[in-house]
């Protein structure tokens, strides 16, 4: 299959989040799990950092990938959306996947998807985002990256990227977004995004709204996650403030903590 044909095939799958559809797409992880199994679980052959949030998750992912490259690691980066062409979503050391490699990854994933539909294991074709996510997994495993940074597409708990077992889960600033799909309060949205925190995993989070703090903190405790609060390392933004790099004085504002202080011994072990 040519690159042009691969892109046309992907775009033909249609928008996943279009409103007003008679049968809106039901989000879950079953399609991705079955597709990943058929591909031989490429996501398990790559150490992964998973980044969710409302604001800053793309820039956080790109910055982290840049730091890892500078440290000498072969680094994969998966982001969305793209601006010009879908290749932009899949990068190796800041170089976008080539047209030929993109077409090859699409062929591999499409072949397994078609086989799963013929056997009845998949009731419908994987979505646009599921296909691209599986292609990214396959590409990063094929080229043997040292580590990959994945930006969550939407939410977290049921996002296609969340079939991985991440080395580190990062949650950036949470605000009201995709309310039709994620919930109508910051607390509900934070719960969905906190779905990227896995059992006994490691979580890094930034200053949050109190409702987001509560939701993220409870999920972290329930899953026995080791959580790191990066709020004290965020430079102050007030006029005339000291903007030197390094740890800053903890903010007195309630959004500057991950969870109520009574939870800190469980969430932030020394």
Structural domain containing residue 87: 30-46+75-154
Are 84 and 145 in the same domain? yes
Number of domains into which the chain is organized: 2
Are 107 and 135 in the same domain? yes
Are 129 and 200 in the same domain? no
The predicted structure's pLDDT at residue 135: 98
Q: Rounded to an integer, what distance in angstroms lies between the CA atom of residue 51 and that of residue 77?
A: 11
pTM of the model: 0.83
The predicted structure's pLDDT at residue 142: 97
Are 189 and 223 in the same domain? yes
Beta-strand relationship, 90-92 and 95-96: antiparallel
Are 39 and 143 in the same domain? yes
Q: How many CB atoms lie within 10 A of CB 237?
A: 7
- How large is the average pLDDT for residues 165-170? 96
Return the percent helix, strand and coil in the chain, to nearest 5. Answer: 45, 10, 45
Are 198 and 245 in the same domain? yes
Are 98 and 129 in the same domain? yes
Alpha helices (runs of H) in the chain, residue ranges in sequence order: 3-11, 30-38, 57-70, 99-119, 128-143, 179-182, 186-193, 210-222, 264-267
Pick from 163, 166, 202: nearest CA to 47: 166
In percent, the amount of the chain with pLDDT more than 70 equals 80
Instruction: Report helix angle 30-38 to 99-119, nearest 10.
Output: 110
Q: Which of 154, 189, 222 lies at the terminal end of a domain, its last residue?
A: 154
More confident residue, 175 or 153: 153
């Amino acid at each position: 299959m040519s690159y042009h044909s691969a892109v046309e095939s992907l775009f033909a799958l249609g928008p996943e989040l279009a409103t007003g559809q008679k049968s809106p797409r039901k989000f879950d992880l079953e399609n991705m799990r079955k597709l990943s199994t058929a591909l031989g679980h490429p996501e398990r052959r790559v150490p992964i950092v998973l980044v969710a949030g409302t604001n800053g998750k793309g820039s956080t992912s790109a910055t982290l990938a840049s730091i890892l490259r500078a440290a000498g690691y072969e680094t994969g980066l998966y982001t969305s959306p793209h601006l010009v062409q879908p290749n932009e979503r899949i990068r190796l050391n800041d170089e976008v996947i080539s047209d030929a490699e993109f077409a090859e990854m699409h062929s591999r994933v499409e072949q397994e998807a078609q086989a799963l539909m013929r056997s009845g294991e998949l009731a419908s074709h994987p979505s646009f985002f599921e296909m691209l996510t599986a292609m990214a997994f396959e590409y990063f495993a094929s080229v043997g990256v040292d580590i990959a940074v994945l930006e969550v597409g939407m939410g977290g708990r049921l996002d296609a990227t969340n079939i991985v077992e991440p080395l580190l889960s990062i949650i950036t600033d949470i605000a009201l977004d995709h309310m039709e799909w994620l919930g109508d309060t910051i607390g509900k949205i934070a719960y969905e995004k906190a779905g990227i925190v896995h059992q006994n995993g490691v979580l890094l989070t930034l200053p949050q709204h109190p409702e987001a703090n509560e939701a993220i903190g409870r999920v972290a405790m329930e899953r026995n996650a080791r959580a790191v609060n990066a709020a004290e390392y965020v430079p102050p933004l007030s006029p005339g403030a000291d903007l030197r790099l390094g740890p800053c004085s903890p903010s007195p504002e309630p959004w500057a903590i991950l969870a109520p202080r009574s939870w800190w011994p469980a969430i932030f072990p020394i």
